[in-house]
Structure 1
């Protein structure tokens, strides 16, 4: 398509910054039907391109190439100089000619945005995100054109998701999906929290489409807000008595997993993948290399925890899993729920989740006066904010000690011989 072009308005950063922000990009002709554009917005500039095949009518295929190096230096990937944008545009023009790019004039739907989002998805929870996209978002909104999408449509879908009953895990070949109706306030909050996560994935896909320049405005979904207080801190921690009853009532094959969670605070997925070589009996530590935060976590084991892992590792090869299903296979996703529900019923313990076992570990540390920074490190939190949200109220503090010392003793409650059972 010829050699690189020059444009006094776009070549230099200083010249571009003098351009007035406007809705239509500043276009520079590169070849027949091919333009490199610079979009000057209020929040900065970005490089775009458009192409029209000969005889293709008035419709253009368009794409966003990347951010302009107006503020940050170019890195050749996300932030581009004029020369780099010119090269990227030419590469994209070649794709259009070969038929690899999107045809001009074809409506861009929510489904298309979801496809593009998953194609470039780099998060850790690929399987869960794809399931959410295909089972929840696409059936309801996938066929809608993004440019015609309204805040009302998204808002109504968001509310319907929160009002829908939660699905329960059923057998692999079950004909019907069991559901649980949100009967109390906590259940309703959980459904709102789930709806918020659905909305987050939808917005991420739509925002990517907006950044790529295939959508004119993000106003429709920007107006839809998540439910407030849906992710409030959950106060479900097992007492030592509940923990013992739960373990005693647990299926023998799953029991070591539950014990490990309460003695380490590790997540179900991390324990399911833990191998013998991750346990060091010399230092009484467990290394979890693939945690939710994407970083390696070191778990420091006390005597009971070290004994549990020593038993789990006994007689196994270094690359063997520490905890396996009774059939000899690895524990699968969400498989823990049915074992916990059965144990709670048999042990007469209020229903809890595997994550509650993790919280129990954090709560025991907090009640013992362990600093929040140490608990955050033990649980693998990125910082102390999440730790304080869940455990700060359990820790001994100057405020609680002062109040109990100076605001006690009104003499309005008669003493009885009722004592707590242990």
Structure 2
């Protein structure tokens, strides 16, 4: 349908409060941007429409080109209305947005900044770092998200390594595919958080492009790997003496590695039978109850120590560092014949899983682990807990007689 000439543009809404208009004139059309700020409206002339000439991006613009120019206007105007001076460093890129976001988290004392910065440097910035935030599209983010999900897994390499070691994803292994998609989802969360921070700071006029991109469904489904008590004993026995204390500490508290290595002698309360975690991921301190074995372990470790002395130290009397745990744990797992190798995350899962299987309420487990509520705890451990449904089914379902009588009789010494 041919549009009638009129002064009021024909508007296309780009996002909430932002629109691009086409004004039809006697000699052709022009593009106009409109930004609504409460009851006020702000306009900007974008240039001539491509009614009679091919778009060149300089004097004549297609609708797509007009949208790009409009986004620049929306960003500039939003910053002006928010009271921000126009940045002097040039275009505001995804790399700058991530840097500003992580810096803001550091100022707030948020946990996990180091890990998120490492992940962003490895997986987000190489592909998207140089892209201007105002020119970022949903398709660009979606394509990057899929690329990360299909990319080989990065392996930890030593300093000075000539090349980053990787492991290809086996497409036939559903768990490997799920794990890579879960990684892609976590990175998408970091990217969206950084872009949302830029949006709220007036660096972007709309959050629509990244709001449209959805994470993979069911990629973060609970996959709990935990050790049996027998495997725990094998692992502890296979550890070097000083590292053995750390592994024991993880198994009797369910604490994260970073929480354990910061514990001081004063954090153990022998009268209450607890250890206090003063710095946790959730940002709140918590008191972890110890069983008799845990109390005996911590009592022995703090004996003769001053209040501010670290409970867990290395064989050379130095503090355990951020990444000192993985190699000795992999080596101990090899000697204990555990495959896959244990991690401190698995030790934490083991603690919570054994509690769940003994019928400990989810709220109690959540409090011990430092979860802010029971949602994450239930997602990972509720299926392990005794339940009315499982008990009823096991009691009521008759034996069919499907199995053959065993022909091998076990010998009992």
TM-score class, shorter-chain normalisation, is 0.7 to 0.9
TM-score, normalising length from structure 1?
0.74
How far off its partner does 1:300 sit?
0.8
Aligned with residue 218 of structure 1, among 201, 207, 224:
207
**How far apart, CA to CA, are the structure 2 residues paired with 1:23 and 1:149?**
16
Aligned to 2:394: 404
Aligned to 2:246: 257
The unaligned stretches of length 5 or more in structure 1 are 1-20, 25-36, 49-58, 66-84
- Structure 1 residues 130 and 311: alpha-carbon distance in aligned structure 2, compared to 1, 3 A threshold: same
How far off its partner does 1:274 sit?
0.8
8 Å CA contact retained: 1:272, 1:323: yes
- Counterpart mapping for 1:316-327 below 5 A: 316-327=305-316
Does residue 174 in structure 1 map to residue 172 in structure 2? Answer: no
How far off its partner does 1:270 sit?
0.4
**Larger deviation, residues 179-188 vs 348-357:** 179-188
- Structure 1 residues 418 and 191: alpha-carbon distance in aligned structure 2, compared to 1, 3 A threshold: farther
**How far apart, CA to CA, are the structure 2 residues paired with 1:270 and 1:386?**
19
Aligned Cα RMSD in Å?
Answer: 3.0
Does residue 163 in structure 1 map to residue 150 in structure 2? Answer: yes
Aligned to 1:102: 87
| 1:183-240 per-position Cα deviation (integer Å, ceiling 9, x unaligned) | 3322222222111111111111212222333323322222221111121112211111
Does residue 23 in structure 1 map to residue 18 in structure 2? Answer: yes
Aligned to 1:131: 118
How far off its partner does 1:415 sit?
4.4
Aligned with residue 199 of structure 1, among 179, 188, 213:
188
TM-score, normalising length from structure 2?
0.76
Aligned to 1:368: 358
- Counterpart mapping for 1:217-366 below 5 A: 217-351=206-340, 352-366=342-356
How far off its partner does 1:64 sit?
4.4
Secondary structure in 2 aligned to 1:287?
A: strand
- Structure 1 residues 420 and 372: alpha-carbon distance in aligned structure 2, compared to 1, 3 A threshold: farther
**How far apart, CA to CA, are the structure 1 residues paired with 2:273 and 2:122?**
43
8 Å CA contact retained: 2:78, 2:205: no
**How far apart, CA to CA, are the structure 1 residues paired with 2:41 and 2:356?**
51
How far off its partner does 1:376 sit?
1.6
Aligned to 1:10: none
8 Å CA contact retained: 2:17, 2:36: no
**How far apart, CA to CA, are the structure 2 residues paired with 1:189 and 1:331?**
32
| 1:239-286 per-position Cα deviation (integer Å, ceiling 9, x unaligned) | 111111111112323111111111111111100111111011222110
8 Å CA contact retained: 1:265, 1:379: yes
8 Å CA contact retained: 2:353, 2:384: yes
8 Å CA contact retained: 1:366, 1:394: yes
The unaligned stretches of length 5 or more in structure 2 are 1-15, 20-34, 43-72
How far off its partner does 1:336 sit?
2.0
How far off its partner does 1:418 sit?
6.5
- Structure 1 residues 420 and 317: alpha-carbon distance in aligned structure 2, compared to 1, 3 A threshold: farther
Count of matched residue positions in the alignment of Structure 1 and Structure 2? 346
**How far apart, CA to CA, are the structure 2 residues paired with 1:159 and 1:197?**
13
- Structure 1 residues 387 and 269: alpha-carbon distance in aligned structure 2, compared to 1, 3 A threshold: same
